[in-house]
Amino acid sequence: MIGATTRIDYPPRTLFNAGMNIKSQADIDLINALGGPAAVARLLGFPRVPGTQRVHNWLSRGRIPSDVKLLHPDIFLRHLSK
């Protein structure tokens, strides 16, 4: 019987981070097609030193953050305008 004292143990952050490990090969391919992390950082106007690492982290995670895509639709969402 499930009552008020029933406890279900989940590993920490399992539910909240369930979608965080999804990699997008399309995002990885796009960064590479644009010339790699340094080129994308320049294109976005990021400072060289933290900017290149920031974009490289996107490659490691396998996805470009949604807010970055929305701030730069001309670069990251071109396929939607076709």
Assigned domain for 44 exists: yes
pTM exceeds 0.85, yes or no: no
Alpha-carbon span 78 to 58, nearest angstrom: 19
Q: Which domain holds residue 51?
A: 25-81
Assigned domain for 56 exists: yes
Assigned domain for 29 exists: yes
| Model pLDDT for residues 20-31, shown as the tens digit of each residue | 567 889 999 999
Q: How would residue 68 be classed by pLDDT, with cut points 50, 70 and 90?
A: very high
Domain CATH number, residue 54? 1.10.260
Alpha-carbon span 46 to 57, nearest angstrom: 14
Assigned domain for 1 exists: no
Assigned domain for 51 exists: yes
- DSSP label of 78: G
Assigned domain for 19 exists: no
Assigned domain for 58 exists: yes
Query: Taking phi first (over 0 means left), then psi (-120 to 50 degrees means alpha), and beta for anything else, what does residue 29 get?
Result: alpha
- In angstroms, what CA-CA distances link 61 with 3, 8, 9, 22, 26? 40, 30, 27, 8, 13
